[in-house]
Structure formats: structure tokens, C-alpha cells
Amino acid sequence: MSESNIANLIKSKVSLAPMAGITDYVLRSLVRTYAHDSLLTTEMISSEFLAQNVKTEITKLDDAHHPISYQISGHKPHLMKNAAEYLTQFADIIDINMGCPVNKVVKGQDGAALMRNPRLAQELVKAVKEGTNKPVSVKFRLGYTQDEMNYVEFGQMMQEAGAEFITIHARTRKQFYAGKADWVKIKELKNNVDVPVFANGDILSVEDAVNCMEASGADGVAVGRGVLGDPTLVGRIEHYFKTGMIIPPPSLNEKLDMLRTHLDEEIRLRGEKVAIKFMRKFYPYYISGIRNASKIRAVMVVEDDYDKILEYIDYIRKENADLDIINS
């Protein structure tokens, strides 16, 4: 596919980065409410898992989600090809995860482990391209360790294999999410490949997005953890890049409304019992900065009763009525 067709899909300078167990159908829908043109990305889908479980809520799609990238992981070319063939019916772009630092992923030779095996990584790109007529992208890191920062050569090899879009997290695998993302290093990659490059890592505000673009020279930014507790962030960055105007972060009342919507929609998707447990990871972000946050958080993350959770939300609203803006 030509670069012009990629440009038709990547209409915004900001995207939603993939996060396992986070960027599900519901969160993507919330983000899309505020971000009209930005590329959304699904949570990581294991090609091994998909081969055994074709029916999964991970693939659930709403027409409003387009443009959307479906991210797959794996290290077996035939399974990656099969996954691409299946997901083509949903996706605008097929993305390959070559950056996940989690131990169980890396030990299985997936994710960031592929940065130590660039030839296999190339075979995966080629296999995925055989399985789809959609553009293929890759997401990777600076390298496996500080002494193995091969991101420029790796990016060139992925482009050579047929990747048409790159997202790079500006940390090594060894760093996980510690320290500060080194946006400046991305500039060298951008100067040595011909495909669009989006920078990822530590994009927690509109100001971060602007600073990252200036430091990296990237074509755009991919926002991950910044949307936790603030589904508006991608949209606010999108709006700034289009208009130069900054929309302020959501107020506490707005965030609590989003939390309620998030909870109710997860229940609609997963059922009440599963959804309430799934949502526990999100509560700390939605209520960050409130009075007695740690005590309220400790109670909410063990609560199984839906009505009780709503009571906590109402309590937070009343006890913090004078707080206008709560930063996530």
C-alpha cells in the first residue's frame, strides 16, 4: 500500500497506543467520543490465543472506531499470517507487537524479545503482509538493554520487510516503564526511515505531546498510560495539533461521570461480576488527587457490590465539590 493510503488512515498526529488489558472495546469507545480522527489501537492479541479462540470480545468493533489498528503478537510466522487473515475483516491496519517488556511475553520469544532476533522479526512482517491487504505496522522499543539499542537498524529492517508505519516507545525493554522516555533518540530513527514514525512514552498531557514532537521530530505521538483516568487526552491533543487551542483537562465531576460510564459499559460487555473486578485497575486513576484518595481507593478495589461502588462515587463527588480540575 502506498504512503498516500497510509496518510488517508493516519489523519491525526496522535494515536491511542495498545495496552494489554486496558485498550478494550469500552475504553476505545470512550476515547473515540473525544478523538474523532485519531488512530485507535486494540489491546495486544496473541496469535497463539487467536488460533484457539476465534470468538473473543477482544475483536469487538464499533463502526465509529475506524480508523483502527489491531495489534497481534507472536513469533511463529504461520500463526501470525493466520491471525492477520482473520483480523483483516475488522482492521484498517495490522500492527505487530515487538516491544512488550512483560516477562511472560518475552520468555515466549514474543514482544521485545524480537529486537534480539531482527531476522525473525522481518519474517513475521512478511508473513503478516501475506495474510492481509491492509497496511502493516510495527511497535518496538529503543532496544533490549542500554547496550543493545539497535532501534535504527531494526526500524530500517522492518521497513525493508514491508512495514509501512512505526511506533517506537522511547525506552529499552530492561527499563520497562522506569526512568524517563528518551524522546530525542527517536529523531535518529525518523531520519533513517521513509515511513511515518509515532513516538510513544510519557505522553501524559498536551504539553508532553508538544515537547515530544519537538524533541523527536516524529510524525505524531502515541498515547498510552496518559488515558488512564482521562479518556479525553487523545482528543485534547488531537484538537491542539489541529487548532493550536488547548482544551483543559476534565473536572472531577466529568471524570466521575466517565468512570460511571466506563463501569456501566464494561458490565454491558462482560457481565457485572467480571466487569467490577476488571474495573479495579482504573479506579486509582479516575480518583487521583482527591481528598483521602488512598483510603477510598483501598475500599473501592475490594468492593464487589455495584450499588456500593456508586455510593463511593457519589461520596467522592460531594466531599470534593470544591475541586475544579483533577489531573490524572
- The residues annotated with a catalytic role in the active site are 100
CA distance 220 to 199: 6
* Cα-based distances in Å from 11 to 3, 38, 74, 130, 235: 12, 7, 28, 26, 13
- In what helix (H) or strand (E) does residue 283 lie, and over which residues does it extend? helix 283-286
Query: Strands 165-172 and 45-46, how do they pair?
Result: unpaired
Among 70, 6, 4, 17, smallest CA distance to 237 is for: 17
- Cα–Cα dist 325/255, whole Å: 9
Helix locations, 202-251, DSSP H:
206-216, 233-243
Q: How far apart, in Å, are the Cα atoms of 211 and each of 206, 293, 326?
A: 9, 30, 22
Task: Count CB-CB contacts under 10 A for residue 77.
Answer: 18
